[in-house]
Amino acid sequence: PVIAIGNPYGLVGSLTTGVVSALGRSITEEDFAGGYAIANIIQTSTPINPGNSGGPLLNAVGKVVGVTTAIVSESQGLGFAVPSNTILREISSLINSGTYEGHSYLGVSGQDMSYNVAQEIGTSVTHGWRIVAVTSGGPSEGILNTGDIIIALNANPIRNNDDLASYLEEKTLPGQRLVLTVVRGSSTTDVSVILETRPPPPI
């Protein structure tokens, strides 16, 4: 079980309970505020309402395991929390400078592969992450192509966007060289991209 503490609808010091429904999710900020994927998120059934976000998510022994961040509108029992290890990695920079410059940026957008997507585009690849756009002027321009299917990062298998976003967030830093294994047409190849610092989300 997990416990969320906050002030939903101005009700100070309210406590709600639930369970951890899943780990390693990624959600896109544009679903809530407009921007980039938030990686390695905790999914919980704990009720999260306006006034709850930003409060602690605790386990049964009172240890803070995350900070509540969002609930999908018009849903019941579908909330999210940023895990404590992510907060600890970023908090010093946020306190000292108000920003965190450690988010790596690949400069592509895409979609998860599935059996249906594979059938639509005529490939046998049913896992991975298919690139649908490469950002002009970004780190991947001229290296990755629309239609490439990313199946590994630094030899670590990538099944979907959750895997890709979590690996970039947890295992890389701006300025590092990232080796991507991609399916391009009928062949598989390795390409290298120097990651950049993620730009601010559009206003």
- How far apart, in whole angstroms, are the C-alpha atoms of residue 182 and residue 184? 6
pLDDT per residue as tens digits for the range 153-169: 999 999 999 899 989 98
Phi then psi dihedrals of residue 11, to 5 deg: -85, 90
pTM: 0.79
Residue identified by tokens 């079980």 is 1
Residue 2, Cβ density class (10 Å: 0-12 exposed, 13-18 middle, ≥19 buried): buried
pLDDT of residue 155: 97
Strands 187-194 and 177-184: antiparallel
Residue identified by tokens 């018009």 is 74
Shortest CA distance to 79 belongs to which of 101, 61, 57? 57
pLDDT per residue as tens digits for the range 69-96: 866 655 566 888 989 888 888 888 888 8
Tell me what the pLDDT averaged over the chain comes to. 88
Q: What structural domains does the chain harbor? A: 2-97 (2.40.10.10), 104-197 (2.30.42.10)
pLDDT of residue 54: 84
